[in-house]
Amino acid sequence: MDIGVLTVCLADESLEDALAYLSERGVGAVEIGCGGFVGDDHLSRAEYLDDDERRAELHELLEEHDLRISALATHNNPLHPDEERASEADEELRGAIRLASQLGVDAVTTFSGLPAGGPKDEVPNWITAPWPTEHADAHDYQWEVAEEYWSDLAEFADEHGVDVAIEMHPNMLVYEPHGMLELRERTNDRIGANFDPSHLFWQDIDVTDAIRLLGEHDAVHHFHAKDTKVYDANAREKGVLDTTPYTEEAERSWLFRSVGYGHGEEFWKDVVSTLRMIGYDGALSIEHEDSLTSSREGLEKAIDVLDRAVFETTPGDAYWAE
């Protein structure tokens, strides 16, 4: 298990400079955006897809800094009711899968997407309750749309030998572990989780229990190291379904925080241990979205916490149990 970083927060730097900086701080893996909401500042599909020479140059750069790619990231909404937007998201996702295959990368991280509430609606609709009953009907419709799309996409991913790691994200159809397993059941085992605890904290989902649940189905394909702090004084008054802008920090019920600023080192050590129990030995990819500090400071503080939490060796024989 090694410490990784989603490089989007360093998009104002060249890929070479970002890799050099991360390598100097002991990072072992990078997750690189190649489209969608995360952009493609560090990895343009148009430049690298089907270009052996460009990909060789990238491998040389990674080798120079002793880094590997844990995943390619392209987060968008392929289930959007606007056909043009859905088609663009689908093209980005399939291109990322093809590029991952050509680069020898195991996973692509993304969202499940979110359909409209019915065939005539124009905007995505996040359903959070089964009543009034038209909401339950809308939710059933959304799952029909999702199953049709993701069944085909899962086969495409399997043909290319790439796992699709879906971030369980509110305002998407799959936002919690049971929905994740439902989508996996309706498709194939290429579909799994990019397990990001930050979205589960404020839903009051127990993170280590959720890891164990998905681990029982071998459904953790990638992991985001990102923290969240719930601010109880605000949450007690308005709950956690908070539409306050992220930049109005003092008024929000919760904020994304750098690792260690929502939950302490002991918690992150428990997460690492639980991931080892389910057999996950990939990257802990730090995603910096803490508006109370800069990207570099947030990354460095997260690296510091995780560096003390991760195991650097494989387990030895349990000689005391013999």
Structure tokens at 85: 């937007």
Query: What residues does each domain of the chain span?
Result: 2-226+260-321
Nearest CA-CA partner of 87 in 102, 97, 72, 76: 76
Note down pLDDT in tens along the chain; length 322 residues.
999 999 999 999 999 999 999 999 999 999 999 999 999 999 999 999 999 999 999 999 999 999 999 999 999 999 999 999 999 999 999 999 999 999 999 999 999 999 999 999 999 999 999 999 999 999 999 999 999 999 999 999 999 999 999 999 999 999 999 999 999 999 999 999 999 999 999 999 999 999 999 999 999 999 999 999 999 999 999 999 999 999 999 999 999 999 999 999 999 999 999 999 999 999 999 999 999 999 999 999 999 999 999 998 888 888 888 8
Amino acid at 100: A
Q: What is the pLDDT of residue 317?
A: 87
What Rg do the C-alpha atoms of the chain give, in angstroms? 20
Q: What is the pLDDT of residue 183?
A: 98
Q: What is the pLDDT of residue 322?
A: 80
Q: What is the pLDDT of residue 314?
A: 86
Distance between CA atoms of residues 255 and 18, nearest Å? 26
HEC profile of 153-170 = HHHHHHHCCCEEEECCCC
Nearest CA-CA partner of 29 in 60, 69, 57, 66: 69
Q: Which CATH superfamily is domain 2-226+260-321 in?
A: Divalent-metal-dependent TIM barrel enzymes (3.20.20.150)
Q: Which residue has the tokens 């799959």?
A: 174
Q: How many other β-carbons are positioned within 10 Å of the β-carbon of residue 310?
A: 19
Measured CA to CA in angstroms, residue 23 lies from 18, 30, 185, 272, 283 at distances of 9, 10, 39, 21, 14
Q: Residue length, the chain?
A: 322
Nearest CA-CA partner of 264 in 295, 304, 299: 304
Distance between CA atoms of residues 90 and 321, nearest Å? 51
Q: Are strands 2-6 and 283-286 parallel, antiparallel or unpaired?
A: parallel
